Amino acid sequence: MRVLITRPEREAVTLATALSQRGHMPVIAPLFRLEILHPPADFAASLAACQAVLLTSANGARALAEASEQRGRPILAVGDTTATTAEGLGFTAVSSAAGDGAALVELVRKRLDPKAGPLVHVSGVDLALDLGAALGRDGFEVRRFALYDARGESTLPDSARAALQARALDAATFFSPRAAAQFAKLVGEAGLADSMRSLTAIGISPAALAPLGKLPFKASVAAARPTRQAVLDEIDRLAEAGVQGQAIMSDTPSSPPPPPSMAKPVQVRRGLGVFGAFVIGLVAAVIVLAGAVISLPFWPEQARVLWRGQAAIPPAPTPALDLQSVQAAASAVANAAVETARRDLTARLDDLEQRLRALSATAAEKPTGSDPAVAELRGRVEALEGRPAAAPTAAPPSPEADKEMAVLRAEIATLHGALQTLDQSMTGQREQTKALSDALGARTAGEQKALVAARASAVIGVAARLSAALDSDLPFATDLTLLAPLAQGDTKLTEVAATLQPYGQAGVASRAALAASFPAVAKAALSDDVAGDSFGQRLLGKVRSIVSLRRVGDDVPGDSVEAKLARAEAALDAEDLVKAVDLVKSLPPQTNKATAAWLARAEAHLAAKRAIDELAAHAISLLGAVR
């Protein structure tokens, strides 16, 4: 299935990796942009005095790790994903409620004592569940600190817009009511509400699907449990079912599909094809020929003579002058017919003329002494020839001549009928060939579109795998090999693959690794900046290399090395690596030795990130072109 992911970028990459491993094609379209906030002044004291920390999201775990170095405080997390994130950040005492906010409240009631001390709730600016109000009735004191802000995008991401316009998605995932409400708002503003008709909405809970009620989704499905794993299982179940069925708005799995015996068979209709049409035409011709042979005894005598090709019975002798006149007239008519007939009928007419000439010669050479009537007739002809020339008069045709003319007319009519039938047959064949050609062209175009869409979806999956490897400090040479068959004939894919190839074997440093190593780089750069030629400057540089005392934050003014390093570190905390690299590049030359290695790693990360973004954008453009 092709699944739209609306989570923030970090969670979206993790979910996309899990979907790709299950054989699905993820399309990442974050609706929120995460920003870590500075903790208030009393946060450290409250954290030290609390008996446990409550986390309702994975972003809360990351914000807590940024705000404090303490890793031993007991943590109660809302679900397994949040708990796993906290453990990955170094927290050692983590417990998971494996559910939603209500499950977290129940876990607090079972594990903790209100008299043991207050609780600290690390959350975002927007609050989905007020734990203070929920636990206050049980005597717990909950101190809430908003340490991050998930700011919504003002427009629908380009990846989501292109995929929705092309109707290239099967499902969309929603992990919070706020994400669903933001999606409904942006889709309405973009005028893409009608594109939801072929889409299935999959929510982590019924509450997460509630804001989508006005969109015409094909179906709305809530996971059996409010966990990411349950959402993945629901996507697998829908893929096996072919994304069919009625809308489901509950937290229990849908009813099983009907038994195979009740399913209606699918009827597949196929065209005859060119070969099939030829065979059918051949069979029809054989049937017509067999009918003609069977009905031959009922044909007129003239038609049977023409069919068998037998010589006509010599007629009684007639005057030579009349036979020549008949022969000349018949030849003129036959030649006119031959001019309009096909070449394959010319031989037949020539044979007929030859038989007529042979008949005339036979009649002229036959002895006439034994037949008084013939002798008398010949005498009359000689007498006529001996008369003086007079105005020519037309001799009336004899009965034998009339018979020959009738035979010739029948032959010519038969030839005209055969020619007409042949023309009609060829016209029908041309029309059938054109129809088959049009159908084949339409089928080829549809298959081509399906092929382009499948290739674009595969490229999106490869881009998700590459992005996950980029954020995890992992090599991605194996993932690059997946692009080789997809890049054939595509210049853009070939260029992107060539750009990523130098980084594939070893991978590139992740943004988190670059941020973690920056304090040591800043310390060394600041030490090199003050270590001049004088003894006092060298001594100060040595002290700076041992003890690092410098200001931090994006509000440090000035163009000194210390100020630029402070703003660069703040940019890294805000996940703005481009700004941090620009600030480090603007440092004086004496700091190059300390910053050169870090800059090379950071620029490699940015180059790989740009190439992967181009890869995803190209895949989305391919999907948009197939409409």
Q: What is the pLDDT of residue 271?
A: 45
pLDDT in tens, 330-345: 445 444 444 544 455 5
Q: Which is higher by pLDDT, 54 or 462?
A: 54
Q: Are residues 217 and 278 in the same domain?
A: no
The verdict on residue 176 lying in a domain is yes
> What would the mean pLDDT of 275-285 be, rounded to a whole number?
65
> What would the mean pLDDT of 541-558 be, rounded to a whole number?
56
Q: Are residues 168 and 210 in the same domain?
A: yes
Residue at a domain's end among 128, 152, 176: 152
Enter the pTM of the model.
Answer: 0.38
The verdict on residue 263 lying in a domain is no
The verdict on residue 262 lying in a domain is no
Token couple for 564 = 């630029």
Q: Which domain holds residue 100?
A: 33-152
Flag whether pLDDT at 133 surpasses 80.
yes
Q: How far apart are CA 346 and CA 334, in angstroms?
A: 10
Which range scores top for mean pLDDT: 67-81, 394-408, 534-548?
67-81
Q: State the chain's mean pLDDT as an integer.
A: 74
Q: What is the pLDDT of residue 257?
A: 43
pLDDT in tens, 182-213: 899 998 988 888 888 889 999 988 988 999 98
Q: What is the pLDDT of residue 306?
A: 57
Q: Are residues 237 and 129 in the same domain?
A: no
Token couple for 37 = 């906030």
The secondary structure of 66-113 as a DSSP string is HH-----S-EEESSHHHHHHHHHTT-SSEEE--S-HHHHHHHHHHH--
Q: Are residues 283 and 350 in the same domain?
A: no
Confidence at 50, pLDDT banded by 50, 70, 90: very high
Asked if 433 contacts 275 with a C-beta cutoff of 8 angstroms, the reply is no
Asked if 57 contacts 121 with a C-beta cutoff of 8 angstroms, the reply is no
Q: Are residues 334 and 189 in the same domain?
A: no
Check which CATH number belongs to the domain holding 243 and give it.
3.40.50.10090
Residue 455: exposure state from Cβ atoms within 10 A (0-12, 13-18, ≥19): buried
Residue at a domain's end among 97, 117, 152: 152
Which range scores top for mean pLDDT: 401-405, 453-457, 472-476?
472-476
The verdict on residue 486 lying in a domain is no
The verdict on residue 505 lying in a domain is no
The verdict on residue 499 lying in a domain is no
CA distances for 231 relative to 18, 113, 128, 234, 516, angstroms:
11, 34, 20, 5, 32
Q: Are residues 193 and 226 in the same domain?
A: yes
Residue at a domain's end among 407, 431, 447: 447
The SS3 of residue 141 is coil
Q: Are residues 121 and 172 in the same domain?
A: no
Q: What is the pLDDT of residue 80?
A: 85
Q: Are residues 159 and 10 in the same domain?
A: yes
Q: Are residues 167 and 19 in the same domain?
A: yes
> What would the mean pLDDT of 336-360 be, rounded to a whole number?
53
Q: Are residues 316 and 427 in the same domain?
A: yes
Q: How many structural domains comprise the chain?
A: 5
Q: What is the pLDDT of residue 127?
A: 78
The verdict on residue 490 lying in a domain is no
> What would the mean pLDDT of 406-418 be, rounded to a whole number?
66
Q: Are residues 90 and 185 in the same domain?
A: no
Q: Are residues 116 and 174 in the same domain?
A: no
Q: Supply φ then ψ for residue 512, to 5 degrees.
A: -65, -40
Q: What is the pLDDT of residue 264?
A: 40
> What would the mean pLDDT of 215-238 be, rounded to a whole number?
89
Which range scores top for mean pLDDT: 197-201, 474-478, 539-543?
197-201
The verdict on residue 192 lying in a domain is yes
> What would the mean pLDDT of 85-103 be, rounded to a whole number?
87
Within 10 angstroms of residue 469's Cβ, the number of other Cβ atoms is 25
